[in-house]
């Protein structure tokens, strides 16, 4: 079992690093390969989908940045013709899209991502009186950050809002950012060696090979909501397709140089997801205001420096406050500039007031514990308690072992107070 070597410091049974890694590696198993859950597969109509060969459809993905204007791909191009649109290699075609980086049952975070079809630099030519192949041909799917960095949006299913779409009650926050193709016009493809981020991406299917070509199934934006407050998203099959060019004719062993390009086609069910504070209309054709925070125009005292691209509004009575977008927090209680809020897991976090908190050694971050300055003293739990709960053991029924609770709040409750308390809390959540 995981984490047998040492105890973990958590306050109230809560540790982001432990819970995240533990759940991925133990509770889900297959999710160590970034596979998307059965519930979400069913929602998008691909629960029992089998990948088959596909050809690219230009209208099936919302390409962005300096992709081909019609979302097109290469077709048997010569190497010299690929220089303007290649990826990390000059014989590797690429395209920029908004692809899901995080997925939960209520929505997903979509980020600018470069999809690329790489190949093994295959060449066929006449040598030593034989038709010679330098290497076996094969095309692979690869994924990269764009040369312009990343830009991300959380989009929520109908009925959900808030941070990572966790709120199922009336929305009180609002992301007023306009979301359309123009917002991404300045993004450029990376055209030199870069880190492949494929292992970090959630997928319905991945690394399936057919005829020496690799196939994946991702979740991506397929078209924009007309009002600019959301997008239609769908499972999309990505095929790394091989093609070759030859400068010779009439020969039994012509010089052939392989290149490759990503071919994309949407499958399953397409759904309209909306930015925080908005919801699909009754016809499912556009996103409309869900949160009164989206309509409130008066800033609360001390919140006059709202910046649309950096902040998301949070309603407070008849005025709005705001918080930083994404994983950023305010630099201090007196500054609304947004800073990255990352560091040693468990000691960094964003408090309820939006400020990035960095706790000293011996303490752990708790965003609700204002009395301690959000940094109460850390308490050590043994690996046994982290796996089975405060009074649990390996001999308990599987359903009573804490590692099986995939909801972070329920896992914390189980570790602290046992599985019965966690199950009671689950029933209360369902009742609300």
Residue labelled with tokens 């970034």: 34
Q: Domain count of the chain?
A: 2
pLDDT the model gives residue 28: 29
Domain membership flag for residue 358: yes
274 and 192 co-located in one domain: yes
Percent share of the chain, pLDDT over 70: 78
Of 252, 280, 308, which residue constitutes the final position of a domain? 280
95 and 243 co-located in one domain: yes
Tokens of 93: 């075609």
Residues 95, 61: Cα–Cα separation, whole Å: 10
125 and 264 co-located in one domain: yes
pLDDT the model gives residue 317: 74
Q: Residue 426 — pLDDT band, cuts 50, 70, 90? A: confident
Percent share of the chain, pLDDT over 90: 26
56 and 115 co-located in one domain: yes
Contact 364, 378 (CB under 8 A): yes
pLDDT the model gives residue 295: 65
Domain membership flag for residue 64: yes
Residues 95, 77: Cα–Cα separation, whole Å: 16
Q: What is the pLDDT of residues 220-269, one digit of tens each?
A: 999 999 999 999 999 999 999 887 666 566 666 666 667 788 889 999 99
Mean pLDDT confidence for 29-52: 76
Write out the H or E segment, with its range, that includes residue 151.
none
Cβ neighbors of 359 (< 8 A, separation 6 or more) are 347, 348, 365, 374, 375
Domain membership flag for residue 335: yes
CA nearest neighbour of 143 among 103, 96, 107, 186: 96
Most confident among 46-55, 97-106, 411-420 (mean pLDDT): 97-106
Contact 18, 8 (CB under 8 A): yes
Report how far Cα 264 is from the mean position of its chain's Cα atoms.
18
Tell me the average pLDDT of the chain: 80
42 and 150 co-located in one domain: yes
221 and 273 co-located in one domain: yes
Q: What angle do CA 25, 28, 29 make, to 5 degrees?
A: 60
Domain membership flag for residue 72: yes
272 and 306 co-located in one domain: no
Domain membership flag for residue 288: no
324 and 270 co-located in one domain: no
Residues 4, 37: Cα–Cα separation, whole Å: 27
Cβ neighbors of 215 (< 8 A, separation 6 or more) are 51, 141, 205, 208, 209, 237, 238, 239, 240
Q: How many CB atoms lie within 10 A of CB 229?
A: 27
Strand partners of residue 312: 323
Tokens of 292: 């009164």
**Is the pLDDT confidence value at 7 over 50?**
no
pLDDT the model gives residue 26: 32
Q: Using CA atoms in the order 109, 271, 70, 75, what is the torsion angle rounded to 10 degrees? A: 90
Residues 68, 71: Cα–Cα separation, whole Å: 5
Report how far Cα 155 is from the mean position of its chain's Cα atoms.
11
Q: Residue 338 — pLDDT band, cuts 50, 70, 90? A: very high
187 and 75 co-located in one domain: yes
Residues 297, 227: Cα–Cα separation, whole Å: 19
pLDDT the model gives residue 136: 60
Domain membership flag for residue 265: yes
Domain membership flag for residue 418: no
Most confident among 51-60, 164-173, 274-283 (mean pLDDT): 274-283
Of 218, 250, 280, which residue constitutes the final position of a domain? 280
pTM above 0.75, yes or no: no
Domain membership flag for residue 168: yes
191 and 328 co-located in one domain: no
CA nearest neighbour of 64 among 140, 139, 115: 115
**Is the pLDDT confidence value at 19 over 90?**
no
Q: Residue 143 — pLDDT band, cuts 50, 70, 90? A: very high
211 and 311 co-located in one domain: no
CA nearest neighbour of 310 among 302, 301, 318, 322: 322
Q: What angle do CA 46, 49, 54 make, to 5 degrees?
A: 105
Q: Residue 293 — pLDDT band, cuts 50, 70, 90? A: low
The pairing of beta strand 173-174 with beta strand 311-316: antiparallel
Of 280, 310, 343, which residue constitutes the final position of a domain? 280
pLDDT the model gives residue 247: 58
Q: Residue 320 — pLDDT band, cuts 50, 70, 90? A: confident
Q: Residue 353 — pLDDT band, cuts 50, 70, 90? A: confident
Task: Provide the residue range defining the domain that includes 101.
Answer: 34-280
174 and 55 co-located in one domain: yes
């Amino acid at each position: 079992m995981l984490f047998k070597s040492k105890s973990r410091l958590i306050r109230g049974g809560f540790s982001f690093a432990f819970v995240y890694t533990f759940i991925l590696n133990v509770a889900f198993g297959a999710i160590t390969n970034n596979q998307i859950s059965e519930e979400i597969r069913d929602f998008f109509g691909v629960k029992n989908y089998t990948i088959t060969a596909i050809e690219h459809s230009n209208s099936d993905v919302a390409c962005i940045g300096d992709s081909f204007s019609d979302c097109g791909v290469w077709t048997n191009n010569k190497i010299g013709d690929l220089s303007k649109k290649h990826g990390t290699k000059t014989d590797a075609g690429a395209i920029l899209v908004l692809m899901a980086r995080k997925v939960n049952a209520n929505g997903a975070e979509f980020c600018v991502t470069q999809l690329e079809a790489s190949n093994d630099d295959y060449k066929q030519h006449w040598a030593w009186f034989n038709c010679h192949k330098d290497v076996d041909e094969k095309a692979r799917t690869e994924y990269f950050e764009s040369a312009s960095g990343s830009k991300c949006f959380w989009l929520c299913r109908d009925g959900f809002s808030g941070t990572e779409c966790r709120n199922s009650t009336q929305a009180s926050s609002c992301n007023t950012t306009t979301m359309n193709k123009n917002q991404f016009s300045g993004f450029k493809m990376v055209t030199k060696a870069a880190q492949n981020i494929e292992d970090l991406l959630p997928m319905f299917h991945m690394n399936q090979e057919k005829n020496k070509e690799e196939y994946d199934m991702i979740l991506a934006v397929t078209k924009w909501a007309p009002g600019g407050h959301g997008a239609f998203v769908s499972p999309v099959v990505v095929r790394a397709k091989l093609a070759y060019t030859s400068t010779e004719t009439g020969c039994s062993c012509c010089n052939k140089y392989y290149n490759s390009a990503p071919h994309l086609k949407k499958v399953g069910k397409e759904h309209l997801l909306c930015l925080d504070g908005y919801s699909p209309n009754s016809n499912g054709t556009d996103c409309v205001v869900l949160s009164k925070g989206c309509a409130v125009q008066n800033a609360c005292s001390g919140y006059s420096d709202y910046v649309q691209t950096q902040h998301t509004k949070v309603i407070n009575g008849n005025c709005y406050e705001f918080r930083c977008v994404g994983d950023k927090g305010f630099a201090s209680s007196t500054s609304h500039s947004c800073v990255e809020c990352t560091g040693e897991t468990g000691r960094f976090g964003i408090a309820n007031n939006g400020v990035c908190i960095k706790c000293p050694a011996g303490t752990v971050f708790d965003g609700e514990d204002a009395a301690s300055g959000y940094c109460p003293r850390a308490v050590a739990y043994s690996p046994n308690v982290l796996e089975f709960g405060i009074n649990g053991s390996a001999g308990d029924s599987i359903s009573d072992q804490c590692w099986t609770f995939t909801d972070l709040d329920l896992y914390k409750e189980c570790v602290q107070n046992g599985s019965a308390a966690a199950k009671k809390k689950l029933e209360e959540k369902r009742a609300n």
